[in-house]
Structure 1
Amino acid sequence: MWGPQKDIPINLRFNSVRKLWLSALLPSHRERQREMASSVNAPHFHASVSAVGSNKNLVFCLRRSSFGFRPSNQPSSLFSPIASKLKAWKSEVQPSSNKIYCSLAELESENDEACELVNGTELSLGDGDDLIRAYLFTAVKNNNGTGILLLSDIYGFEDSSTREFAYRVACNGYNVLLPDLFRGDPWTKDRPKNLFEQWYAGQQPDRVAKDIGMAKDWLVNELLSAGISKKLGVIGFCFGGGRVIDILAKDESNHFSAGVSFYGTRIDRSTACNINVPILFISGDEDPLCPVSLLRDIENSIGRGSRVVIFEGRGHGFAHQPNSPDEDKDAEQAFLVMRSWLDDELVAGNSS
């Protein structure tokens, strides 16, 4: 169920720095990332891009004066056949270095300290000529044996904010699959807003649902059935948050054990009664695209441990695209809430 891969060597660690991401792999975002990097108050850090083997294989590193990265001679053995396509990268920390955390701010939880290594590879999912692209992020050192399907917002799977979030989830022990829901045609901010509905209609809901189904099948066949992941979860933002409801309502085989929906849009309320697993809803009380009343209604319909977490004064997209220091704080809190939820629903009691 999966096609050729393109190696993406990834090794990135954070300490109180937000929005420094894989700009080497995301040319369209280089200028944006340079602007963000220049505004970060972190004088003891600098970002560097290092060539690895060829121009196509680049790794973006965050370095301290005594902190760097080197390629490891040991291949990844996480799982096969993907393992043969992954390049492992090992961190090199000198004794004088302080703790390096994988979250974008220094968190109190010591769990972040375990984050050292995340592998990434590009996949082609599907059969024959009907393929979709996807990225797989896998935790190497602290893998907890859980698979996550991450559904993007309208800006697609190559958006830097979405990739950053996928990395952070993997950094906390998960195997994260991030598919291209728009087949190379995501919405872009430079398009006239009056063309949005036309663009959205062209995405064909049935085709999107089919592609999400292919991504789910890949997780089931390559991770769940193979015994690599013991449980599966699904996370979505905005457009993807709405699709979390769709996919769980149609998951008759109960492949997914839990879901997280961040400010989901275009939610079909009528399908919620078909959901058999708990969902964590995270949104802001000033988000016109995701009414709190709708989320409460769905929470009551699903029951079974579902939960709604509302952040006061927050609008759409704050958790993965914060635009101010205050939103940064709430974004970190939202991530911690989600992480605790995933641990309780997918990881706790799941060790072999």
Structure 2
Amino acid sequence: MSGPQCCSNPPTLNPSAGAGHVEQLGGLSSYVSGSPDSKLAILLISDVFGYESPKLRKLADKVAAAGFYVVVPDFLHGDPYAPENADRPVQVWLKDHGPDKAAEDAKPVIEAVKSKGVSAVGAAGFCWGAKVVVELAKSELIQAAVLLHPSFVTLDDIKGVKVPIAILGAEIDKLSPPELLKQYEEVLTAKSEVDGYVKIFPKVAHGWTVRYSDEDEAAVKSAEEAHQNLIEWFAKYVK
């Protein structure tokens, strides 16, 4: 995730954004939206900017409106990446925030959600969060996965996935360029036992689903299309 692309256009974080609320789940502060009576839960796993991103919370509310109980945990423990901190470039920050550790942190969150009566859990990850989701998809802790402009995800990761997976990528992306996305697709095509697809969105860049400009009509339209794909995938497989 080196290079500026993962970290361009950072959101203005807002701890009070969204229609939901923050509560403790599985030992982590988590933004929660939707009916706690829903038997179907979705985890949204943030990019390096964390769970206070207003557009991520807005998406959580949108997924909740489709009938899911949505949880956005703070896997960064109150320490999102801050581009303005020149003493701590992203490579240094990542040493404190490995996706493998976050995948372990996700287990008690999933247990906490299931203790509320939830019977099926899906997870979507953005950039950094996509690597966390792929780890959960390998161990079948979730019923379905969506990766959005993934970072760090290898072909071996995709080979190890055991649940239905949708991969939504960008045409302009140094972290998961179209050539790599097409290799993911080849792996999924060869894995007949796991349903999955890869979709490459034209004319958008890494991060476009949660870091778009409201003034850019085309960017908003692409983000909303990806959001709809995400909701449709979970409606199909988290039930």
Instruction: Specify the TM-score bucket, using the shorter chain as the normaliser.
Output: 0.7 to 0.9
C-alpha offsets along residues 318-352 of structure 1, whole Å, 9 cap, x if unaligned?
A: 112213221111111112222222222224xxxxx
Q: 2:229 aligns with which of 318, 326, 337?
A: 337
C-alpha offsets along residues 130-154 of structure 1, whole Å, 9 cap, x if unaligned?
A: x3211221237xx763110110010
| Structure 1 length-normalised TM | 0.57
The structural deviation recorded for 1:204 is 4.1
Q: Distance in 1 between matches of 2:59 and 2:225?
A: 14
Name the residue aligned to 2:74: 180
Name the residue aligned to 1:39: none
Q: Distance in 1 between matches of 2:181 and 2:230?
A: 16
| Structure 2 length-normalised TM | 0.82
C-alpha offsets along residues 280-316 of structure 1, whole Å, 9 cap, x if unaligned?
A: 1111111111122323323333432201111111111
Aligned residue-pair number: 222
Task: Give the conservation status (yes or no) of the 8 Å contact 2:30–2:72.
Answer: yes
Task: Give the conservation status (yes or no) of the 8 Å contact 1:147–1:175.
Answer: yes
Q: 1:258 aligns with which of 124, 140, 144?
A: 144
Report which of the two has the higher share of helix: 2
Task: Give the conservation status (yes or no) of the 8 Å contact 1:281–1:307.
Answer: yes
The structural deviation recorded for 1:164 is 1.3
Q: Distance in 1 between matches of 2:203 and 2:226?
A: 14
Task: Give the conservation status (yes or no) of the 8 Å contact 2:99–2:129.
Answer: no
Q: Distance in 2 between matches of 1:272 and 1:22?
A: 31
The structural deviation recorded for 1:193 is 8.5
Q: Distance in 2 between matches of 1:264 and 1:168?
A: 21
Name the residue aligned to 2:22: 122
SS at match of 2:135: helix
C-alpha offsets along residues 224-246 of structure 1, whole Å, 9 cap, x if unaligned?
A: xx3xx332111111111222111
AA at the equivalent of 2:186:
N
Q: 2:121 aligns with which of 232, 243, 253?
A: 232
Alpha carbons of structure 1 residues 220 and 342: separation in structure 2 relative to 1, 3 Å: same
Task: Give the conservation status (yes or no) of the 8 Å contact 1:243–1:267.
Answer: no
Name the residue aligned to 1:289: 175
> Which is higher, the Rg of structure 1 or of structure 2?
1
Q: Does 1:151 align with 2:45?
A: yes
Name the residue aligned to 1:245: 134
C-alpha offsets along residues 178-230 of structure 1, whole Å, 9 cap, x if unaligned?
A: 110110100123223971111111224443232122222222333xxx3xx33
Within 5 Å, which residues of 2 pair with 1:35-184? 120-126=20-26, 131-139=27-35, 145-184=39-78
Name the residue aligned to 2:208: 318
Which one scores higher on RCO, CA 8 angstroms, separation ≥ 6? 2
AA at the equivalent of 2:119:
K
AA at the equivalent of 1:125:
L
Unaligned runs of 5+ in 1: 1-20, 27-59, 61-117, 348-352
SS at match of 2:200: strand
Q: Does 1:275 align with 2:172?
A: no
